[in-house]
Amino acid sequence: MKIANKKVTAERLVRDALEKAKHFSDYNIFTFLNEEGALKKAREIDEKIKRGEKVGKLAGVPYALKDNFLSPEGETTASAHILEGFKSPIMATSVKKLEDEGAIMIGRTNLDAFAHGSSTENSYFGPTLNAYDRERVAGGSSGGSAVAVALDIVEFATGTDTGGSIRQPASFNGVYGLKPTYGCISRYGVVAMASSTDCIGFFTKTPEDMDLLMSVASGRDPKDMTTLPDYYNAGDGLTDAACPSDTLQAAQAKSSRSTEHAASVKPSRIGIVKDFDNESVDKEIRLALKNKIDLLKSKGYEIVELEMPALKYALAAYYIIVPAEVASNLSRYDGVRYGFRSEKTKDLDSLYIDTRSEGFMPENKRRIMIGNFVLSSGFYDAYFLKAAKARTLIIKEYEKAFSKCDFILTPVSPNPAFKLGEKVNDPVSMYLEDVMSVSLNLAGVPGLAIPAGKTKNGLPVGLQLIGPRRSDKSLIEFSKVLNDNNEGGKN
């Protein structure tokens, strides 16, 4: 990242970033620009440097924050009307870690409301435009963050990935996007979507920057009981012994050692998933995959064809498990505790009903209804329980796959960025966008979206590298093998 060479001041970097953000305002990337706060911090850092004081690893680096991360700077809205006006009293652990190292948030980025979606069109504030084609979607839900990095406004941006929301917009905009292993980065202070699959991650222009951010953000957090011990910085895939109190995590690790990763293993066998290479996948995406496979072969890697039949249940299982968790997590928005409250309200019941009716987007309501339906007595066994069993099959499928290969390479989505308006009124076709991304979230394994060239029309194509749990660091390192030209970022 630029500041590392200390040739520029933090104030200059922040001013440039803010100027660019304004220059690209018609892309609808930001829900809030942190002009005063960012400049104040930049000046403080410059002063420190002048005085010869020690500064952090990210000192003066401007970044964009997906608007579902809590911090006292600006309102945290998750791009939802129901959270408009909400000023958070707390700061997410991940944000605190970045800021402690001197990173400077220049703005909050647009997303599908509550991160429900694959195009950023479900935002209360309207869609973000694709960095390469303004008639196309940015992808989602972290569309604003992906475009902020792709247009080189900021050095990096944060994202959340519950079922592809980092990897898909990264691939639609030609940047790197990592969904880490579940539990690698604390979820504390991030608006919850589906707590059993939510992951915090980043968008960057290079694998090196991704590594740096991961080294800063990962690790155990007493405020999030699902966080893992800091295996990322330990340089070892297996650090449970160091944390005897983590009984749940230790038990999980023990039961699935074959999906765990030992950092010392050098990857040599790369898996490809037969089922993902079919007619319903765009030709140019298949070609990009083929090119990378050829590159790997030419570098001496063994390509292993995998049969992973359980993955065909992933999308259906995801769209049962996730709405069930969404319905529960969104029940807290009642018009009393956070943000917006309906004006119409006359009594307590109508306060809840009117606020929720007016405050949620149609996609939020759809998920609340599906979630409550699949959890209701009489339907629980037929839907939720079945989906939970399918999830176990998917976890086992990945375990099996990683006994045959080190990493897996697949497309991120079946197509490059689609036209604005093309899918937004057809929820099922929007859900189908996630067919290749959601299985990773159900299994808790990491996935890194990497830029893999462009279509004839100049749209970026992304591929994802999938690894066993805790292989994040090796995955990032290995992505360099696939980077045969200067990819990552538009400018």
Segment near ligand GLN (CB under 6 A), from 163-171, 304-312, 383-391, 446-454? Answer: 163-171
Q: How far is the CB of 259 from ligand GLN (least distance, A)?
A: 21
- 165 makes contact with ligand GLN (CB under 6 A): yes
158 binds ligand GLN (CB under 6 A): no
Does residue 76 bind ligand GLN (CB under 6 A)? no
Among 77, 118, 173, 204, binds ligand GLN (CB under 6 A): 118
Instruction: For residue 309, count other CB atoms closer than 10 A to its CB.
Output: 10
User: At residue 40, what is the residue type?
Assistant: K
Closest CA to 218 of 228, 204, 203: 228
**Of these, 162, 186, 252, 329, which contacts ligand GLN (CB under 6 A)?**
162
DSSP code for 463: E
Is 193 a binding residue for ligand GLN by CB under 6 A? The answer is yes
β-strand pairing of 302-306 with 62-66: unpaired
- Which region among 148-156, 157-165, 296-304, 421-429 touches ligand GLN (by CB under 6 A)? 157-165
Cβ proximity to ligand GLN: between 163 and 237 the closer is 163
The verdict on 138 binding ligand GLN (CB under 6 A) reads no
In the list 46, 73, 121, 161, the residue contacting ligand GLN (rule: CB under 6 A) is: 161
Residue 164 in the binding site for ligand GLN (CB under 6 A):
yes
Rounded to whole angstroms, the Cα distance separating 411 from 34 reads: 35
Based on CB atoms, which residue is closest to ligand GLN, 217 or 272? 217
Compare residues 2 and 366 and give the one whose CB is closer to ligand GLN. 366
For ligand GLN, give the closer residue by CB, 160 or 259.
160
Q: Where are the beta strands (DSSP E) in 244-336?
A: 269-273, 302-306
Structure tokens at 203: 């968008």
Contact of 319 with 341, CB cutoff 8 Å: no
DSSP label at residue 116: -
With beta carbons less than 8 A apart as the criterion, state whether 314 and 394 touch.
yes
**Given the rule CB under 6 A, which of 27-35, 113-121, 255-263, 277-285 is the region that contacts ligand GLN?**
113-121
Q: Measured from the CB atom, is 301 or 360 closer to ligand GLN? A: 360
67 belongs to the binding site for ligand GLN (CB under 6 A):
no
Under the criterion CB under 6 A, does residue 434 sit at the interface with ligand GLN? yes
For residue 99, state whether it binds ligand GLN (rule: CB under 6 A): no
- Binder of ligand GLN out of 20, 41, 81, 116 (CB under 6 A): 116
Q: Which residues of 130-160 are buried (b: 16+ CB within 10 A; e: fewer)?
A: bbbbeebbbbbbbbbbbbbbbbbbbbbbbbb
**Toward ligand GLN, which CB reaches closer, 88 or 160?**
160
Is residue 328 helix, strand or coil? helix
Rounded distance between C-alpha atoms, residue 406 and residue 392, angstroms: 21
Question: Which residues are marked as active site?
Answer: 66, 141, 165
79 binds ligand GLN (CB under 6 A): no
Least CB distance to ligand GLN at residue 182 (A)? 13
Which secondary-structure segment (H or E) carries 288?
helix 283-298
Query: Residue 98 interacts with ligand GLN (CB under 6 A)?
Result: no
329 scored as a contact of ligand GLN (CB under 6 A): no
Stretch that binds ligand GLN, among 31-39, 44-52, 114-122, 309-317 (CB under 6 A): 114-122
Is the CB of residue 39 less than 8 Å from the CB of residue 14?
A: yes
Contact predicate 176/451, CB 8 Å:
yes
Concatenated DSSP letters of 364-412: HHHHHHHHHHHHSTTTTIIIIIHHHHHHHHHHHHHHHHHHH-SEEEEES
User: Residue 293 or 316: which CB sits closer to ligand GLN?
Assistant: 316
Which residues fall within 8 angstroms of residue 458, CB to CB, at 6 or more apart?
132, 133
323 part of the interface to ligand GLN, by CB under 6 A: no
Q: Is 320 helix (H, G, I), strand (E, B) or coil?
A: helix
* Contacting residues toward ligand GLN, per CB under 6 A: 115-118, 141, 160-165, 193, 322, 434
